[in-house]
Structure 1
Amino acid sequence: MGLVTEILALPLAPLKGIGWVLDKVVRAAEEEYYDPTPVQEALATLGRARSEGEIGEEDFARREQELLERLEEIRAYQFRSGGAGP
């Protein structure tokens, strides 16, 4: 019975392969999108720019708020997905 099922399902094999590839692509994209490292680096760069006088307090506060919100979004995603986060 197993051999007959595999023979009958053979035309669907390319679809299963495409599904597998798409799943891997989606997972890789999510890992990259929800990686906190670039956001943390941007916060550090922003702090340096403020301390060196390259940006004003208003720009700093606005950009810092955006980055902190993004970091919170990442941490919420990691919590929901059961991933380990800092």
Structure 2
Amino acid sequence: MGLISEVLLLPFAPVRGSAWAVRQVLQEAERIYYDPATVRAELSRLEEQLEAGEITEEEFDRQEDELLDRLENASRNSAGTGNGTTP
């Protein structure tokens, strides 16, 4: 049955390959988005923007909260997977 299903699903191979590529891109984007070093660098840039007067205190607080939430999620996810390894 495996051979028959492969033959019948052959026209959908490009779609399956594209879906795999999209999943890989999304996983890498999430890895970068939640990377603690990336979040810390963004926090540093945010503080520089505040000091330079480019953003208001309210905008700083809002963005800082979002970045700290990302950092917390990253810490929680790495602790839940055993320091970055899959269970």
TM-score by length of 2: 0.59
Residues 21-42 of structure 1: CA deviation (Å, up to 9, x unaligned): 6456424412311322543332
RMSD of aligned Cα (Å): 2.8
Q: Pick closer, same or farther for the CA change 1:72–1:27 going to 2, 3 Å.
A: farther
Q: Pick closer, same or farther for the CA change 1:29–1:23 going to 2, 3 Å.
A: same
Equivalenced residue count is 75
State percent identity of aligned pairs.
31
Asked if structure 2 preserves the Cα contact closer than 8 Å seen for 1:50 and 1:56, the reply is yes
Tell me, which stretches of 5 or more residues in structure 2 are unaligned? Answer: none
Match of 1:9 in 2: 2
Task: Flag the structure with larger Rg.
Answer: 1
TM-score by length of 1: 0.60
Residues 1:45 and 2:31 aligned together: no
Tell me, which stretches of 5 or more residues in structure 1 are unaligned? Answer: 1-7
Residues 31-81 of structure 1: CA deviation (Å, up to 9, x unaligned): 311322543332121011011122222221121011110121123223333
Distance in 2, Cα, partners of 1:48 & 1:42: 10
